[in-house]
Chains A and B, each alone.
Chain A
Amino acid sequence: MLLVLSEEHKEHLGFLTQVDSAVVGEFGRIAVEFLRKGTNPKIYEGAARKLNVSSDVIQHGVEGLTYLLTEGSKLMISEIDFQDSVLVLGFSEELNKLLLQLYLDNRKEIRSILGELAPKLPSYHSLEWRLDVQLASRSLRQQIKPAVTIKLHLDQNGDQTTKILQTDPATLLHLIQQLEQALGEMKTNHCRRIVRNIK
């Protein structure tokens, strides 16, 4: 599968042909660092002064590289496909090899960073429970009514929320039974076949 680069993208990356390979390597390192920790515009200023071009050009170059790397990692394209996609830009052989090496070295890490960007539902963090027995109320004395109070702690992207639930023991047993059945589904032939095929 080939990467299709827009004209604007090709223009931005065209700047890379005007500098030597050490600088391109440096840009590659900056691009990966930005993917890990976020952008830092001051670096553009410093590089612009050293290379005697405007910081916009530097920014476009680095962003072009970043986009190339993330698109390649996202689609998990093979070496040959990456080389063919980059061939379109008309770079020198040395530059192509450098870009390919950059792609292959950082592919796994970029994929794991991209994996964290998917939307997430609140996930289970912990559970506290309490068993009470209601003995009397204002309207009725001499009762025996057991109840389980549950505090469910949920975690969504670092925000903690809690949900308070209350149930009687019969419903709780039913809940446990349903959850055990759900766990048991993993052992059926149907699920086993799918899991084997995914691996």
Chain B
Amino acid sequence: MRFRFCGDLDCPDWVLAEISTLAKISSVKLKLICGQVLKDLQGEGIDYEKILKLTSDAKFESGDVKATIAVLSFILSSAAKHSVDSDSLSSELQQLGLPKEHATGLCRSYEEKQSPLQDSLRTRSLRLNRLDSVSWRVDHTLSSSELQQVNEPLVHLKFTVRDGDRGVTEPFAMTVSAEKFRVLLAELRQAHAMMKTLS
């Protein structure tokens, strides 16, 4: 059976198995746990103690609590990844065997936070390097050892590049003569115009 929230593929076996674990908690508590999981997916950290308190009524062992968090993380992040709307998600979860109130509660939490979640997933997408900042300086060369009267402008450019892996910034400096700088600027302006037509 193909499910949209799994990217038009089969639902993984472990998710099917844990749906019955989810049904053991009340739908109100499930909605609160969803809120915690959504906070964790957006990078704000998770309050494990709170989740333990919420699942204590259903007498979950530590393995069950972790399984609940894992399956909710999968469902919510996968639905956001494939841009599934909350009604389709609700019907698909009910097809998998999740009771109606649980599915509606889960989908309501999902709907509230769908855009912020997708934004945070977008920022976490693979990026190799990032330009942090640019600084420049224009100098005027008066003379040199080769020629007594040079009188030419010179641009110093410094790019600070943030490495995607380690998060450290590295400076990258160069000097550009006036003509080369004109060419650079013209080409970059053309690229910028092309980017503007696309966005």
Contacts and interface: CB of A to CB of B under 8 A. Distances in A.
A48 B126 CA distance: 60
Interface in A113-161: 128-130, 135-136, 138, 141, 149, 151
B194 A135 contact: yes
A160 to B, nearest CB: 9
Most buried by A among B126, B128, B165, B191: B126
A164 B128 CA distance: 9
Interface SS majority for chain A:
strand
A137 to B, nearest CB: 9
Interface string B141-183: 0000000000000000000000001000000000000000000
B9 interface: no
A149 B187 contact: no
B125 interface: yes
A149 B198 contact: no
A180 to B, nearest CB: 15
B126 A151 contact: yes
Contact of B126 (A130, A135, A138): A130
B194 A129 contact: no
B194 A149 contact: no
A136 B192 CA distance: 11
Contact of A130 (B125, B165, B194, B198): B125
A128 B187 contact: no
Nearest to B165: A162
Interface string A163-176: 01000000000000
B151 to A, nearest CB: 31
A112 B198 CA distance: 58
A149 B165 contact: no
Contacts of A128: 125-126
Contact of A135 (B125, B165, B187, B198): B198
Contacts of A151: 126, 128
8 contacts: A136-B191, A138-B187, A141-B194, A149-B126, A149-B128, A151-B126, A151-B128, A162-B165
Interface of A: 128-130, 135-136, 138, 141, 149, 151, 162, 164
